[in-house]
Copies of this chain bind each other. A is one copy, B any other.
Amino acid sequence: MNTRQTLTRADWIDMAFDLLARQGAKAVRVDLLCKALGVTKGSFYWHFDDLAALKAAMIAQWRRAAARDLIETATGTRLSPRELIFSLFKDVQQRHANGGSIAETALRQWSSADPVVQKLVHDADNERLAFLTTQIRAAGITGGAARSRAAFLYAALIGMEQLAGEPALTPADMKGVIDAILRGDEIASG
């Protein structure tokens, strides 16, 4: 896979995500990483101060990737704000169905245990929430209602990422609920 002779930090991070996805958070271990990469532990400690430093690097990478996804979805397509929001939900379900981002749950767990990680994840949350709020304003919802609808939608997104098992919502159903949330405004605002 990687024919380079000496490893880079990126190699360690990639392999760590691989282990996280395949074997869960407790498989992110120095010895298992070394075995997977065919080196001894001392090598790891040349690239990283400790295991916590590797985890921090993983989170930084996740944050960059998440931000990139958002911006690509927003700018790369010609979707209306409403359609864009719907597509965000569909993406989450798709990834979830493919057993994709188990890493999300693990990251949120780190977040509650480690204050440094918590700040990083919290910042990322606020960034996405602000983006959602902008989209909802663009969909025609005004005033404080935009932020509350955004907060609710964002909580639902996070919750869907966390819930185990088969998705309880078909795409059509999801569209219906989202429309209801984006429509309720004209009545409730003021």
Interface residues of A toward B: which range?
35 or more
Contact yes or no, A173 B154, CB < 8 A: no
Q: Which of B109, B145, B181 is A181 in contact with, Cβ under 8 Å?
A: B181
Hey, which chain B residues are within 8 Å of A156, CB to CB?
152, 155-156, 159
Q: Considering only CB atoms, which chain B residue lies closest to A118 in the complex?
A: B164
Q: Which of B112, B121, B184 is A183 in contact with, Cβ under 8 Å?
A: B184
Within the complex, the shortest CB–CB distance from A109 to chain B, in Å, comes to 3
Q: Considering only CB atoms, which chain B residue lies closest to A158 in the complex?
A: B159
> Which residues from 142 to 190 on chain A have a C-beta closer than 8 Å to any C-beta of chain B?
144-145, 147-152, 154-160, 162-165, 168-170, 173-174, 176-177, 179-181, 183-185, 187-188
Within the complex, the shortest CB–CB distance from A133 to chain B, in Å, comes to 9
Pick out which of these stretches binds chain B: A35-43, A73-81, A100-108.
Answer: A100-108
Q: Which of B105, B162, B174, B184 is A177 in contact with, Cβ under 8 Å?
A: B184
Hey, which bits of chain A sit against chain B, CB under 8 A?
Answer: 24-26, 102, 105-106, 108-109, 111-114, 118, 121-122, 125-126, 129, 144-145, 147-152, 154-160, 162-165, 168-170, 173-174, 176-177, 179-181, 183-185, 187-188
A155-B155, A155-B156, A180-B184 given. 5 additional CB < 8 A pairs?
A25-B109, A106-B109, A154-B163, A159-B159, A177-B181
